[in-house]
A and B are shown apart, each in its own frame.
Chain A
Amino acid sequence: MNSGPERFAGWIPIGLYWRGTQPMVDWCHAGDARFTDPFFEQTIAGLVQRPFQLLFRHQTPVEELPAINAALPGLKLGGFIFHLSRCGSTVVSRMLAALPQNLVLSEPRLLDFVFRSHFHQSSISEEQRITWLRSLVSALGQQRRTEQTHYFIKFDSWHALQLPLIRRAFPEVPWLFIYREPAEVMVSHERQPAAQMVPGVIDPRWLGLAPDALGRIPGDEYCARVLAAILQTALTHSNTGNVQFINYRQLPDIVFSLILPFFQVSCAAGSMSHLREVARLNAKEPSQPFMPDSAAKQKEAGERIRQLSDRLLQPWYEQMEARSSHSA
C-alpha cells in the first residue's frame, strides 16, 4: 500500500477539468508506453482500451502536482516544437520519437486547460499558470524506460500564441518553429479545417480581435488571421538565440543536419536509416506512404487564398525566411 506521491510512478496526467472551482487532474497508468503514435491522444486512447484504465484512474487536485514532481521528477526537457500547422511538424516529432532515447509527446491536449484557465476563473494569475505548466510538463515527462534520456514536447499550432507564457516558464529550453508557404497551409485548411480554425475555439483576444468581430470575418480570412497571429508571435519571441526556424521544404534532411544537433540528440548510423523510413511514411497516417503535395496545393490555391496570403501572411513569412537556417 502506498498513499504517498510515489504511487504515481508509471502514471501520466491525461486531462484537467473543473470540479466546482477546483482544477482536477485525471491520470492514466501509462507504464512503459513509448508514445510513438502521431499524437499523444492516440496513445492514451489505446491505453484506455484496457478495462482497468476506464475504471481505475487517480483524480487529484492540481495542487498535489508539486509533491508528485518532487518524488518523481520528469526528464530534463531537450526542446519544444512549435509550428504553423499542416507543415511537417508531425514528421519531425515522429522521427525524434523513433530514437529510443527520446520521449516525445505530440500535442498533449491537457495543456489547453492551463492556457485557458484564467478565462474560466479570472483570479488565476499568470504566475499560477506558469506553476501549473511546469508541474504538468514534469509529470508528463516521467522516465518510462531506462534508455530514455531526452524529452520533447510538440505543441498544438495555436499554442504558439502562448509563447510569452511558455518562454517565461521554460526560458532555457531550445525550440523549433516549423512553417510552410502560407498559401499551401491555407489550402490544407480549406480542404479540412483544423479545430482551431473554427471561430471561437481560440479566444479572439489572442488574435487581437474583438469578440463581436468573429461573426463578421469570412472563414478563409479568419484562417489567415489565425496563421498570421501564430507567425507574428513566433517571430516576436525569437530573439533569444535558442530557436531555429525550419521550412517544410527542408524536411526531412534538416532533421539530421540541424535539428538533432540543435537538440543535442546523437543518432547512430544504424538509426539514421530507421529515421529515413519513418520520414517516408505519411506522418499522420503511418500506414500510408508520404506523397509530396506542394505543387498540387499551389495549383489549387485560388485568387482569394492568394490575396489573403499576400496581404496577411507573406510579410511574416518573408521575415521568417530571413531568419531561417537556410538563409544563413
Chain B
Amino acid sequence: MSQQSFDHFRELVLQDPALQTQLQAANNLSELTPLVLKLGRERGCEITAGDIEAAWQAARRAWIERWI
C-alpha cells in the first residue's frame, strides 16, 4: 500500500513543475526524504521514510544495471 502511495506521489510530481522545483533543491537523500514526507502528506500520500529508501535503492540498482 505504502509503495503504491509513493508511486501515486511520483505521478503527482511528474505533472507538477512547481513540485519538481521544490524537490530538485535536495542535494542528497537525507535532504530529499523530509521534503517527500512533507509534500506527500500535504497531498494525502501516506509515505514512510522506508518507502523512500526502498524506491531509492531500486532506482540506484536500475541505474547501475543500465550500464551493464
- Residue positions of A touching B, CB distance < 8 A: 1-3, 7, 9-10, 15, 29, 48, 50-52, 54-56, 58
CA distance A187 to B27 in the complex (A): 43
Contact A1 B16 (CB under 8 A): yes
Interface residues of B in 21-55 (CB under 8 A from A): 23-24, 26-29, 31-32, 52, 55
Contact A29 B24 (CB under 8 A): yes
Interface size class of B (residues with CB under 8 A): 20 to 34
> In this complex, which of A9, A29, A56 has the most chain B Cβ atoms within 10 angstroms of its Cβ?
A56
Residues of B near A48 (CB, < 8 A) are 63
Pair B32/A55 contact, Cβ less than 8 Å: yes
A residues within 8 A CB of B55? 55
A56 touches B15 (CB 8 A): no
Number of interchain pairs (Cβ within 8 Å): 47
List 11 other contacts, CB 8 Å, given A2-B17, A55-B59, A56-B23: A1-B16, A3-B15, A7-B17, A15-B66, A50-B27, A51-B32, A52-B20, A54-B56, A54-B59, A55-B55, A56-B10
Convert B5-16 into 0s and 1s, putting 1 for each residue whose CB lies closer than 8 angstroms to a CB of A: 000001011111
* Assembled-state Cα–Cα distance A29/B24 (Å): 10
Which residue, A2, A3, A9, A50, has most C-beta atoms of chain B within 10 A?
A: A50
Select B15's contact among A2, A29, A50, A52, beta carbons within 8 Å. A2
The 5 A-B residue pairs whose C-beta atoms are closest, nearest first, are A54-B59, A51-B32, A52-B24, A52-B23, A1-B15
Q: Which A residues lie within 8 Å of B60 (CB)?
A: 54
> Are A51 and B63 also in contact (CB < 8 A) when A2-B16, A3-B15, A56-B14 are?
no
CB of A163 to closest CB in B, whole Å: 27
- Distance of A7 Cα from B23 Cα, bound (Å): 16
A3 to B10, CA, bound (A): 13
A-B contact pairs, 29 of them (CB 8 A): A1-B12, A1-B15, A1-B16, A2-B15, A2-B16, A7-B14, A7-B15, A7-B17, A10-B17, A48-B63, A50-B24, A50-B27, A51-B26, A51-B28, A51-B29, A52-B23, A52-B32, A54-B59, A54-B60, A55-B10, A55-B32, A55-B52, A55-B55, A55-B59, A56-B10, A56-B13, A56-B14, A56-B20, A58-B14
